Structure 1
């Protein structure tokens, strides 16, 4: 007795939903290479971030508004966190794009899902970048400096 196992998706995709065999050029190879390289860089960035935040000084008990304010006062840490944000969002978006390409059968569904994905990634990258570079730990509202404590007089 022999069992025949059909190849995945064989016969499951209706003819009107089958993809064309058009070439995408080098984009998929570049995306694959980006995933590997950004993954290596992200490991370094994330472990550096965790080491500084959790091991140096008082550890997790020292992380508060003042800790972040002091860290982001240094341009080095601003760019470190910016690189981590950008690489993580681009790396994750590329991974989700691959999943959408693998599992969304209809071309219109793939197009809409990727549009939503790209829009969300752009919004998060822009807002995160804005927060990192415009963060002011000592805002002045109606002539009153807020929040006090660690802000210079």
Structure 2
């Protein structure tokens, strides 16, 4: 080593890292925190969903139109399923966004892929939300022979 160069100095690991030049909100950190929180909540929601639908009920054989109609007649289950839908799609979309950022080399394909992802997530959330809150197994004025058994009587 020459007298002119000094050895690389490694900072003390107990000191906080300072960023230079960054201002505003750290969106990647917020994204990381959202993934952890939504993942934990999704585990609870999904296992609750499976417990009620498969173990307390008749299993897979018991899940039919009437079962869903009965469940969605209760606002609690509408909100439960809505949370699963929204959190699952946003969590998954955020994960795919991270993959796009990692693998799309140039900005144009990255922008196109992220735009398509956003459209797909938003359309699916909107359609799923409409299905959950507008679901009516017994629409007024429908031909009685076409209605399910839960609407008879």
TM-score by length of structure 2 reads 0.81
Instruction: Check if 1:83 corresponds to 2:115.
Output: no
Q: Which residue of 2 aligns with 1:138?
A: 138
Partner of 1:97: 97
Residue segments in structure 2 that go unaligned for 5+ positions in a row: 1-20
SS of the residue corresponding to residue 98 of structure 1 reads helix
Deviation at 1:140, TM superposition (A): 3.6
The whole-number CA distance in structure 1 between the counterparts of 2:126 and 2:22 is: 33
Aligned partner of 1:112 in structure 2 is 112
Larger Rg: 2
Return the alpha-carbon distance in structure 1 between the equivalents of residues 77 and 55 of structure 2.
16
Q: In 1, are the aligned partners of 2:137 and 2:148 still within 8 Å (CA)?
A: no
Residue 122 (1) aligns with residue 122 (2) = yes
4+ runs deviating over 4 angstroms? 21-24
Coordinate RMSD, CA, aligned: 1.8
1:52-67 mapped onto 2 (5 Å cutoff): 52-67=52-67
Counterpart in 1 of 2:9? none
Q: Which residue of structure 2 lines up, in the alignment, with residue 27 of structure 1?
A: 27
